[in-house]
Amino acid sequence: MSRIGKKPVAIAAGVTAKIEGQSISVNGAKGELTFVVPDHVNMTVSDGKIHVTPRSDSKEARAMWGMTRAMINNLVAGVSKGFERRLEINGVGYKAALSGKNLQLSLGYSHDLTFPVPAGIAIATPKPTEIVISGIDKRQVGQTAAEIRALRPPEPYKGKGIKYSDEFIFRKEGKKK
């Protein structure tokens, strides 16, 4: 039994959910998201909640049950509140600036890097050493943050690079004489 799958997804105020076959469409104040549910599970909407149930007792159905419920919960949360990831830049001369639809990054290379902002994602730079990525799709926000972080991942000796704001970098001791 899936502990996550058993919980119904509460539909927030101002959010509407529409089921068409194996596709669910969630519409809210921030936008609209759709998700195609695997064939192993069923969905029903009743009393302002979305219930997810497995079609059989197979291993695949049980695996998809909790995952589907989590994905539907992310859809409802995304269209009502949205998602946000914060990145920090550490290093002398390392900085980020937004210019139009591109993010300009100075990360210690011989040239500046230009990162095009994907559609559906909003990027802000409140400080030159901070990047805030926000959007309604949790997967797309996380993927964009991972791509920016991969341009200069943090190194363990001085901690220079781009890291998540809640990430802890294990530091290594340098050479000894």
Query: Do 91 and 160 share a structural domain?
Result: yes
Indicate whether 98 belongs to any domain.
yes
In CATH, what number is assigned to the domain containing residue 44? Answer: 3.90.930.12
DSSP bridge partners of 84: 134
Least confident of 1-15, 78-92, 101-115, 141-155: 1-15
pTM recorded for the entire structure: 0.88
DSSP code for 143: H
Length of the chain: 177
Within 10 angstroms of residue 8's Cβ, the number of other Cβ atoms is 18
What is the extent of the structural domain holding 123?
83-164
Query: Which residue, 80, 95, 115, sits at the end of a domain?
Result: 80
Answer whether residue 1 shows pLDDT above 70: no
Strands 23-27, 83-90: parallel, antiparallel or unpaired by DSSP?
unpaired
pLDDT of residue 174: 86
Q: Which residue has the tokens 């363990």?
A: 156
The per-residue pLDDT for range 26-66, each reduced to its tens digit, is: 999 999 999 999 999 999 998 889 999 999 989 899 889 99
Secondary structure element (H or E) that encloses residue 25, with its range: strand 23-27
Residue 15 has pLDDT above 70, yes or no: yes
Condensed to tens digits (0 to 9), the pLDDT of residues 125-154 reads 999 999 999 999 999 999 999 999 999 999
Residue 173 lies in a domain: no
Identify the domain boundary among 26, 60, 80: 80
User: How many folded domains does the chain comprise?
Assistant: 2
User: Would 36 be classed as within a structural domain?
Assistant: yes
State mean pLDDT over 146-171: 94
Instruction: Please tell me the predicted confidence (pLDDT) of residue 52.
Output: 93
Tokens representing residue 114 in the block? 């230009």
Tell me the per-residue pLDDT of 60-99, one tens digit each, with 9 for 90 and over.
998 899 999 999 999 999 999 999 999 999 999 999 999 9
8-state DSSP, 149: H
pLDDT range class, residue 176, cuts 50, 70, 90: confident
